[in-house]
Structure 1
Amino acid sequence: MTNHPFENLDPTQTVQVLPRHLAGPGTIDPRTAWAFPYDEGWQFAQTDDGTAAAFSPCLRLQTTYEPKPGKGAWTISAHRAPFTAPTWRITFDATTPVELLHDVHAELLDLYLEDRHSDQDRLLQDETAPHEAYAPLLTRGWSHEVKTDGTQTFLTPEGLGGVRHRYDFSGSSGPAWRSWGGLPSEPHWRADFSFGTPTTLVAAFTASLISTGPLHRTVQDVPVRTRRALYVATTTAKQPHGNPLVAPPPAPVSGRTR
């Protein structure tokens, strides 16, 4: 039997792990995850229980974090006018790797600034083609299955994560895109992108999802059930008493670099 990559590591030891979708949520800090320019009109508020919210200066963009026991959530919503019903919404489980959230919010800020300094409105009328979001998955060895129900599904090589895209909008009230990490029957996290969500934001998410940049975690923060599918790129702090698996040299990934 193959040794467990975390078998001889101290629970408090810091490691760098791949793939990202199995790394666990990481350190949750809404202000860091969102990284908005709060000195330029963006508003931030957080209550004593950890609930947080941020708003764009125009009040058309809102992002929130609700740390509910067992089922917290991060939510991004866009509105045609302040205080109206959202035009689109993205929802992440609180257990989603925080680095993925950061990269989506960084792209959200980019779109906001592009719209602000041009006559475009890509936050509400993005013309990016869907393949921009899913083609990079295929280059990383993900499988692809198309169904007659109007969906196509992309699965990670080890089968412990996926992205589902609904290409046929007729008669559907579900999300346009859905992603998850972990066992399909009981995933560690799930992310839903409603119809109307800019494909550019979905592409930022998938690019971060397949990035070969390892994530920093302590051993005790990495989900136990899927640890055998992880690579330990490096370890720090304490020396292990065995030889953890080492990640192969990272391959280049297409997509925007931050």
Structure 2
Amino acid sequence: MPSTVPVLVQPLRLAGPGDRRLVTGPLTAVHGWTPARTSEGGTRFTSPCRTAVLSVNGDGGSPAAWTVHGYTRPGAEPLWRASFSSGTPAEVVAAFTTALAGDLHARHRDGLHLGSTPASILAERGWRPSDRSPRGFHDQLAPDGWALYRHRLGHQPHDDEVTRLVPPTWSMLAGSQQQPSWSAEFTIGVPFHPLARAAAAFSDPGPVPRSTDEIPARHLARVTVLRRPSGRSTGPPTPAETGRPHLPPSRPAPAARRR
């Protein structure tokens, strides 16, 4: 099959980086974030209220790495950080940034009442606690063993997390546990609703559209590749193709669930 043939790939977390416009499009076209080039050659997107900034490293021909910083007010020190390494599926990044932008636009930063916790979303999809979690951490392992969600236990100063002096409170790793294909980190203080939406995308079985050359070679034995129906566009799959909406609405969370 030619390398650029459009296909559907599942699960999402192993499908490859995808189209970065899924992230940047809604921020600029819907929520009014302002793009600007940085001195390092990347792009920075700033929210209208200037309390959130998305930085993108990597040109259009290479996988992007994404970092979001949140601020209590413009010009203050960062309050929290969310970062996504190169290779992270754009759908996972977009789930976080679109929820964040929507919450800021609506003038509420924490959507706890809008959905389940990340841990409960994963549990409902068959992710189970790992019996090999490092000391001080609680891991949930994907059913296929090729991804985990990690929660660091205990307290540490938020500014040490933001500056990467200590491990983040939450992280997502996909691929081999010893050598992840990509990872995402979320420090204490990250708004709850965007974190939950990122967890929903992270655990989404898919399928999602890709060209065959976008699928990481190391994942080929771990993914299911489906041909697109003939004559269809290469845009995101419709509910009829996937069998359900890509990011289903979250259900209300029971009390006292782990994040």
Question: TM range, normalised to the smaller chain?
Answer: 0.7 to 0.9
Q: In the alignment, which of 77, 80, 85 is matched to residue 77 of structure 2? A: 85
Structure 1 position 89, deviation (Å): 0.5
Q: Residues 115-167 of structure 1, C-alpha deviation per residue, up to 9 Å, x if partnerless?
A: 2xxxx5x35xx756996111121222222137583321011112111110123
Q: Residues 178-206 of structure 1, C-alpha deviation per residue, up to 9 Å, x if partnerless?
A: 10111112211110001111221111001
Aligned: 1:134 with 2:119: yes
Task: In structure 2, give the amino acid aligned to 1:65.
Answer: V
Kindly indicate whether the alpha-carbon contact (under 8 Å) linking 1:92 and 1:190 is maintained by their aligned counterparts in 2: yes
Give distance in 1, aligned partners of 2:119 and 2:211: 30
Give distance in 2, aligned partners of 1:70 and 1:77: 22
Further displaced range: 187-196 or 165-174: 165-174
Kindly indicate whether the alpha-carbon contact (under 8 Å) linking 1:136 and 1:254 is maintained by their aligned counterparts in 2: no
Secondary structure of 1:35's counterpart equals helix
Aligned: 1:45 with 2:36: yes
Q: In the alignment, which of 182, 192, 210 is matched to residue 217 of structure 1? A: 210
Q: 1:73 to 1:107 in 2, by over 3 A?
A: same
Matches within 5 A, 1:23-34: 23-29=15-21, 32-33=23-24
Q: Residues 95-116 of structure 1, C-alpha deviation per residue, up to 9 Å, x if partnerless?
A: 100111111111001210222x
- Name 1:10's counterpart in structure 2: 2
Kindly indicate whether the alpha-carbon contact (under 8 Å) linking 2:57 and 2:66 is maintained by their aligned counterparts in 1: yes
How many residue pairs were aligned?
231
Secondary structure of 1:76's counterpart equals strand
Q: 1:49 to 1:168 in 2, by over 3 A?
A: closer
Kindly indicate whether the alpha-carbon contact (under 8 Å) linking 2:129 and 2:140 is maintained by their aligned counterparts in 1: yes
Task: In structure 2, give the amino acid aligned to 1:158.
Answer: D
Q: 1:128 to 1:196 in 2, by over 3 A?
A: farther
Aligned: 1:60 with 2:46: no
Q: 1:40 to 1:92 in 2, by over 3 A?
A: closer
Q: 1:28 to 1:255 in 2, by over 3 A?
A: same
Q: Residues 50-69 of structure 1, C-alpha deviation per residue, up to 9 Å, x if partnerless?
A: 61111112211111101189
Residue ranges of structure 2 left out of the alignment (5+ in a row): 232-241, 252-259
Give distance in 2, aligned partners of 1:224 and 1:137: 26
Q: 1:167 to 1:48 in 2, by over 3 A?
A: closer
Structure 1 position 169, deviation (Å): 2.1
Higher-Rg member (1/2): 1
- Name 1:243's counterpart in structure 2: none
Secondary structure of 1:174's counterpart equals coil
Task: In structure 2, give the amino acid aligned to 1:137.
Answer: L
Task: In structure 2, give the amino acid aligned to 1:26.
Answer: G
- Name 1:155's counterpart in structure 2: 141
Q: TM-score, normalised by structure 2?
A: 0.76
Identical positions, percent = 26
Q: 1:152 to 1:82 in 2, by over 3 A?
A: same
Structure 1 position 236, deviation (Å): 5.6
When the two chains are superposed, the root-mean-square deviation of aligned CA atoms in Å is 3.4
Aligned: 1:177 with 2:170: yes
